[in-house]
Structure 1
């Protein structure tokens, strides 16, 4: 520019100098020329005027030409400059538009501020990030746009740039204009002009909120994954395709004894015994070759020398595109589980044996019998066999007399006897207690079976010798045939049982084949037992009472409670349903019913002043020896409010003789509670009378068998008198039952019996009838 101006000045000076020289020469030489042509002053003045006009015209023309050239050049230059300026502005506009488009299209926030903090540039991404319209940000400061704490933060972060003029990066948590908390990663730096002077600062920021969240999630997931992997008791390993371990968790260390740091980066060959490494390599090769997932059990030797059984789960690691990049393996130590499984199998076999065999004799038990019968009943064409049901006669007496250990030896010897008599392939079963079952293939006919039975009964004529004691055993046997008698195994058992009871009814120590008549008998008893159970549940039974009378005064001093069962068909005799109750284990429930109703009656009669005597209640042997008997008595006393002194418990002599020691203790407890104790059917037992003096007995009840025809039977008279004398001597009272005639009554009265019970005085009657009788007696006393 300066060079151009200097050239222009020089050119102007040259033109001016040329014009000066030309003007001077023109004036001088023109004047001289005029003077040469004329001396006339007027002419000279006129020519000088013309000369002046000519000079002016020439100079004007030259000035025009010169001005035109100069102005034209300047116009052209101006036009060119104007065009260049327009082009420059257009280029600048395009560049600015391009720059703005680029800046606004960038995902990062881009902005610039002047040194006073006013925004010069604020792109679209910046507006989205901080929640501000980018157009409204230009010319504003941070304090105009943001919450105070965010504005102060921005100003603070600008200071290093303003002070040092250097680019630097920082990360901050800001509150945007629309109230959101965001994480921002910012790069800031200075902007300089051509003179190198800072005139603004720029900033490039990136919203890292999502990145932070993703990073946090990844860190959490990695932490969780590491926790899961290292927290798992299972060995979890991951290998690359080079078969080198990249993950070897704590579980793997625990199971193998190999430290994680010693395993990472190494192959199985380098850390495991050869045979174990070969197993691992084989599985890996199969995985890669077949591209599948495996689960199986594997036994492996570990470096610590211990062999473990593992449940191995292995598979391939793949990218989303399906590209394999590794192998994972999960090893669960199931050594203890396998050991426990084997123990369970062994125990199962042992328990299965125990469940199917009798622990005393080693014979198969009832469960084995049922399962065998089920199998045999499936094959109805080829299966023919006899089922023989054995029940030892009087085995309870052996147990009670010699003890259970002795009785067990009897059962063992009897089982051996059965094994000795029958063929080896015969199934011999102890079903429980003193009962045995033999399944004999029916290639043997009736005659053969009878021969076996005869041999058995013959051999039982020889006593068993146990502890140097000879004991004779007899057996009752019932026999049913499959499929002749039935094709149902349950019915086969029932029919053999019915035949066995038939053998017992024949006098025991014999055998009986089943016949159809036995079924009806068993069915009737079963039906009766079922109905009895229902009657007990519905409390359909009732008590009748038979008065007990003082023969001297004729007054009622007691009443025996007798259970009665009335059905739609009529009264069921006690002699029929009580034995069934004994057989079907209903006697306890029946006994509890009689006790409760008897207690209630005694309470009602005493409360109403009807009767001050005692209610006599029979208690069976099974009821007495039941473990909950005393507890049940206490419950019923509390429930009914009965005073034990109002009750007399009748115990059969046979039950006392069966359990003498236990009875002494039990009856003493009952006596201490206030109950009166009497022995029923006295005189029918065959044991020693030595226990009698030890028993807390209050009364002896003379059995009816001694009362019948007592006036005609001297021996019965002697027995009755002896019993009465014995009772008097032991401080007991006596009562005679079954007295029906005046002669029997008079004999007993004269023999000094204390009370009498029988049809001579009263038959058993229901509660209403006996209460009326009580009232009549009370009325008679009052009159």
Structure 2
């Protein structure tokens, strides 16, 4: 800041107030005007010189200073660009003007004339030669060649003078302050300016003769300059001036940096490679090591030695042969390469690889030089790789999976014993065989699959059918990997995994998934797949689907048992397989339902002829359990009608046609008409609405009371209704078949059971006797999945007492129960649940089997109740059922009681509870609640 302020003061000028010459002289006489002992002028405000020193007159080529007085300063100087010339001398003198106001009168100004001839290149004359001496010209030229510029700084005036080359160094920067230190600082890099100002400050306080140095960058940081400065003092100890140089050292510093970087990279490379250098003088046997080699050998850098001392640390087992291997270098100067063990001072052993050769130094004397590399880790890796390779070879030989090595032409080069055993060859027989030779002829592409890519995505390994030497096929999964041998030869390593048994197991599982366990015929899954393929063919022959249901098959099951029914189904399946045309495929969907799919109806004579043939195959007498059972089938047929229906639609239409045939009687055939198909579509639409009603709680329950002999309600049967938004209130007969076809019975039972138990839990209780709730089950039945858990969860959810729950099952569902089903029913009974046999007497069971039914309540079917007043047989059956129920400690309920005569007769034989229109039909939940609140029902 001191330099800058001084420079700023130097640049400030004052005016003289416009005095005339006479007035100014008179005024000067009254001033104490002392000019410096130097070329200086005193001028007025109007520019006229009023005083001059002798040095100024001499510099201007005058003998007397008075010759300058009265002249204008502007007439004595001439400016050309940035250069100022003093006129009047024999030759123009280059000067610098330093102006400042007179200390006693600011209207006067002092001008200092500074000769800068030694710092300025003389302009050439008209002839083109230098006007000054040859030495000065060539000195400036030499500075340019050496890239050295000079500068002089006068502390008293704050002016700095620069050689022409310095201006080239600084460039355009600093031109505004070209005559002071600020120019030098402002033209340096912004990050270096603080250091530059510090340098110039130190120079001003340095001792006489002390040379200071610093390095600064130019404004853009592209050049580097070495700046020097030295102060000169007068006899009084005051600094007269400061001289300095500025040298462009950019190339020198770049070269130094490059050398440092190369040296560092070399050292890094040696350190990474664990590589050091050495040299031996054969005249003295002195061995000099690089710092890296000292580190490798575990020796201090200051340690000196000889080759013999080096040999002393060589492993004793290697020492003698290392000495012998060294002789060719010593005796003939032949290059040597040695690898040996070296024992470090702390006792660790390293493996070193030495290279050595003979060279001549600068004086022509022989030297042995070379490198030493620590290869201990590399040797350990090689050893591990060799051991790993041996282990790999051993593993390949003993592994039970076949492994083969193929060249790029896909010919076998080598194989392990497992592959030889797999394909039935000896190794010498297999070598040279191509992949085509060992691939089954049925395979389309015998070439090896592309090697696995290491993309992180697991691909399914390709499977191929190979062929053994004896011609037997072998199913293999191939895993291929490409690799390269040590000699650079590319090869393929192929693993042959025998999947024959796995494939057979998969095919067996596939067969089980697509075929019926009992008959071996294709099942529903296979039917859907087959129909999908047939319906997807373009310009294919017309197909047909026949849906067959065995008439009265349930009667065979109930009367002869399930084993007899299974035997009958198997016999019918064999008849279909043996009697159908080759264009037809027989399948079993479930129970007694068979499906025939014909891929070409025209080839079979049309759908009518095909249906007649199928009907004849299923109308037969089959010996079952020693008895001849005559059966027939109701058949529904459907063919595509061009409406875009799919395979499942075709199956659905055939099913609907089968129901139509069954309504017409046993052994009938019905073809799905457009009207029937439309009705089936409506049924499907109704099924979708039913699913939605189940999901949205859109169904309702009505309750029909069960009363005792006094008319008191003891229980109620929950009966489902569907308030259809378009068709009004629907009874179960209208939608239960739809639920059965749509496999919704189980979900329907869950909804009824949950809703009925929830409503019953809040019914009023009279005289301490809560009313029980009975739910008829069709889909959620014992033996089904999660039957006990489902019932238990719903009971717990609704909070009703276990002993108020009655589960009704039809008689046929309780015949020949497996032990598991009986166990499940017994578990619920132990908690308080009661089971009721609904419609007893309609399941083709004898009265003797009543004792086998695991139920606590017997409900006599309404068909027997209706005839007790007029048909002695019905009365006898009803009486027998009641007597046996009493004998076995079971409650008896009469269904369908509609008049007083029936009630009195049944009460007379001991029936305990009654249900029918005589008392009440099924009523909505609110009305039934009111009925309970009103008390016992009035019996006519």
Give the TM-score, by structure 2 length.
0.50
Answering whether residue 721 of structure 2 is matched by residue 564 of structure 1, we say yes
Shift of 1:707: 4.7
SS in 2 for 1:501: helix
Aligned twin of 1:493: 651
> What does the per-residue CA deviation read over 1:538-584, in whole Å, with 9 as the maximum and x for residues that have no partner?
444343333322342x3322222223333433333122223333343
Q: Distance in 1 between matches of 2:904 and 2:310?
A: 139
Structure 2: runs of 5 or more not aligned = 1-262, 267-275, 312-322, 327-340, 347-351, 357-365, 398-402, 406-412, 435-447, 452-463, 470-475
SS in 2 for 1:472: strand
Q: Larger deviation: 512-521 or 650-659?
A: 650-659
The structure in which a higher percent of residues are helix is 1
Aligned twin of 2:794: 636
Of the three residues 751, 755, 758, the one matched with 2:913 is 755
Q: 1:468 to 1:368 in 2, by over 3 A?
A: same
Q: 1:652 to 1:275 in 2, by over 3 A?
A: closer
Of the three residues 669, 677, 691, the one matched with 1:533 is 691
> What does the per-residue CA deviation read over 1:486-534, in whole Å, with 9 as the maximum and x for residues that have no partner?
6633322222222112111222321111101212322232233333333
Aligned twin of 2:556: 398
Shift of 1:368: 5.0
Q: Distance in 2 between matches of 1:507 and 1:253?
A: 70
> After superposition, where does 1:109-148 map in structure 2 within 5 Å?
none
Aligned twin of 1:692: 850
> After superposition, where does 1:364-403 map in structure 2 within 5 Å?
364-366=522-524, 368-403=526-561
Q: What is the aligned residue count?
A: 572
Aligned-CA RMSD value: 5.5
> After superposition, where does 1:43-62 map in structure 2 within 5 Å?
none
> After superposition, where does 1:694-713 map in structure 2 within 5 Å?
694-695=852-853, 697-708=855-866
Answering whether residue 576 of structure 2 is matched by residue 418 of structure 1, we say yes
Q: 1:473 to 1:556 in 2, by over 3 A?
A: same
Of the three residues 374, 382, 385, the one matched with 1:222 is 382
Q: Distance in 1 between matches of 2:841 and 2:500?
A: 63
Answering whether residue 601 of structure 2 is matched by residue 442 of structure 1, we say yes
> After superposition, where does 1:171-320 map in structure 2 within 5 Å?
208=372, 211-212=373-374, 215-232=375-392, 233-234=395-396
SS in 1 for 2:794: helix
Q: 1:715 to 1:458 in 2, by over 3 A?
A: same
Looking at CA atoms only, which structure, 1 or 2, has the larger radius of gyration?
Answer: 1
Structure 1: runs of 5 or more not aligned = 1-103, 116-120, 132-146, 162-167, 176-182, 188-201, 239-247, 258-271, 281-292, 302-307, 319-324
Q: 1:426 to 1:702 in 2, by over 3 A?
A: closer
Contact 1:294-1:314 at 8 Å conserved across structures: no
> What does the per-residue CA deviation read over 1:378-433, in whole Å, with 9 as the maximum and x for residues that have no partner?
44545024332222223344345444543343233323433554434544344454
> What does the per-residue CA deviation read over 1:651-678, in whole Å, with 9 as the maximum and x for residues that have no partner?
3334334759888766555443323333
> After superposition, where does 1:626-775 map in structure 2 within 5 Å?
626-657=784-815, 659=817, 668-695=826-853, 697-708=855-866, 720=878, 723-740=881-898, 745=903, 753-775=911-933
Q: Distance in 2 between matches of 1:158 and 1:731?
A: 118
SS in 1 for 2:851: coil
Q: Distance in 2 between matches of 1:404 and 1:615?
A: 33
Shift of 1:608: 11
Shift of 1:203: 12
> After superposition, where does 1:79-98 map in structure 2 within 5 Å?
none
SS in 2 for 1:464: strand
Contact 2:764-2:929 at 8 Å conserved across structures: no
Contact 2:581-2:604 at 8 Å conserved across structures: no
SS in 2 for 1:383: coil
Q: Distance in 2 between matches of 1:277 and 1:696?
A: 74
Q: Distance in 1 between matches of 2:675 and 2:888?
A: 52
Aligned twin of 1:150: 300
Aligned twin of 1:594: 752
Contact 1:312-1:329 at 8 Å conserved across structures: no
Shift of 1:310: 11
Q: Distance in 2 between matches of 1:225 and 1:617?
A: 77
Shift of 1:463: 1.1
SS in 1 for 2:782: helix
Contact 2:547-2:636 at 8 Å conserved across structures: yes
Q: Distance in 1 between matches of 2:582 and 2:467?
A: 45
Q: 1:689 to 1:771 in 2, by over 3 A?
A: same
Q: 1:373 to 1:547 in 2, by over 3 A?
A: closer
Give the TM-score, by structure 1 length.
0.58
SS in 2 for 1:505: helix
Q: 1:382 to 1:731 in 2, by over 3 A?
A: closer
Q: 1:398 to 1:763 in 2, by over 3 A?
A: closer
SS in 1 for 2:781: helix
Q: Larger deviation: 749-758 or 577-586?
A: 749-758
Q: 1:361 to 1:674 in 2, by over 3 A?
A: closer
Aligned twin of 2:666: 508
Answering whether residue 625 of structure 2 is matched by residue 475 of structure 1, we say no
Q: Distance in 2 between matches of 1:312 and 1:593?
A: 57
Contact 1:610-1:775 at 8 Å conserved across structures: no
SS in 2 for 1:692: helix
Shift of 1:475: 0.7
Aligned twin of 2:15: none
SS in 2 for 1:150: coil
Q: Distance in 2 between matches of 1:560 and 1:690?
A: 27
> What does the per-residue CA deviation read over 1:759-779, in whole Å, with 9 as the maximum and x for residues that have no partner?
44344344444444444449x
Q: Distance in 2 between matches of 1:126 and 1:727?
A: 114
Shift of 1:689: 0.3
Q: 1:312 to 1:518 in 2, by over 3 A?
A: closer
SS in 1 for 2:774: strand
Contact 1:660-1:691 at 8 Å conserved across structures: no
Q: 1:513 to 1:633 in 2, by over 3 A?
A: same
Contact 1:234-1:332 at 8 Å conserved across structures: no
Contact 1:185-1:205 at 8 Å conserved across structures: no
Q: Distance in 2 between matches of 1:656 and 1:294?
A: 60
Contact 2:746-2:779 at 8 Å conserved across structures: no
Of the three residues 617, 627, 647, the one matched with 2:775 is 617
Q: 1:237 to 1:435 in 2, by over 3 A?
A: closer
Q: Which has the higher contact order (CA 8 A, sep 6+)?
A: 1
Q: Distance in 1 between matches of 2:780 and 2:488?
A: 77
Shift of 1:690: 0.5
